[in-house]
Amino acid sequence: MSGFIEFQNVTKEYINGDEVLKAVNNLNFTIDKGEFVVILGPSGSGKSTLLNLLGGLDHVSSGNIMVNSHDITGYSDNDLTEYRAHEVGFIFQFYNLIPNLTALENLELISDVIGRKIDGKSMLDRLNLTEHYHNFPSELSGGEQQRVSIARALVKNPNMLLCDEPTGALDSNTGDMVIELLYDICKNNKTTVIIVTHNEDIASLADKVIHLKNGIIESIDTKLDDGNADSIDAEEVLS
């Protein structure tokens, strides 16, 4: 099997005394470039562990993770730093904005991370945040803060967006708006978007749904390719 992302017999173990906990256990799946993927499962199912392994935030105990034909499980710490800086955009539930920096300054910090100048204003404009360049996070609503975090993830033009419960701290209407935005980014930019969630409603939009339970893949649902995926109205599906 081959794809933009491949998990090959991936296991992550944590050892507590004599007890071995397999947070994820022998995962095998592929994700193609530009897919909108939902990883679905209850708390403790291994969803966030999977995302952290793919994002280079944690190391596998065994197995291989291929990204664009590169085995990231063999990367050094410096290699992983470069991988996270250039290939991956992270979007978390609680935004992780720096409180004493404005929205624009939160984006401009990325220039130091990736080693090149970014256009933070244009990205904020794109996400309808033009009026909030100089607002601090405490002056923004939850939805606005999440859009700033999405802008920060996008401004380096990553190949994939990894989203860990991105709507968990939002009300349902604002959460739907954020999911619609992520879906549009995926389909318009061909950015691979992977969302970890327990919200089954989001799964109706996905090209692929990976169901996890107790660290094991229960099933993988794939949308039939009827050539009409780009025409789906995310707002209509979520309403």
Q: What is the pLDDT of residues 60-78, one digit of tens each?
A: 999 999 999 999 999 999 9
Q: In what order do the strands lie in the sheet with 70-71?
A: 19-31, 5-16, 62-67, 70-71
**Residue 48's pLDDT is what?**
93
Single pTM value for the model: 0.88
**What percent of the chain is modeled with pLDDT above 90?**
77
Overall average pLDDT of the 201-217 stretch:
95
pLDDT at position 146, please? Answer: 92
> How big is the chain, counted in residues?
239
Average pLDDT over residues 31-40: 96
Q: Poorest-confidence range of 97-106, 108-117, 128-137, 213-222?
A: 108-117
Tell me which of 234 and 45 has the higher pLDDT.
Answer: 45
Q: Are 176 and 117 in contact (CB under 8 A)?
A: no
**Whether the predicted pLDDT of 89 surpasses 90:** yes
**Secondary structure (3-state) at 181:** helix
For residue 104, name the pLDDT band (cuts at 50, 70, 90): very high
Strand ranges (DSSP E) for 96-215? 160-164, 192-197, 208-213
* Nearest C-alpha neighbor of 167 from the set 131, 195, 187: 195
pLDDT confidence band for 236 (50 / 70 / 90)? low
Residue 144: pLDDT above 50? Answer: yes
Q: Is the pLDDT confidence value at 233 over 60?
A: no
> What does DSSP say about strands 192-197 and 36-40: parallel, antiparallel, or unpaired?
parallel
Q: What pLDDT sits at residue 224?
A: 63
A 10 A CB-CB count for 191 gives 21
Q: What is the pLDDT of residue 21?
A: 92
pLDDT, residue 234, reads 56
User: Mean pLDDT across the stretch 137-156?
Assistant: 94
Mean pLDDT of 32-56: 95
Q: 5-238 belongs to which CATH class? A: alpha beta
Predicted pLDDT at 238 = 59
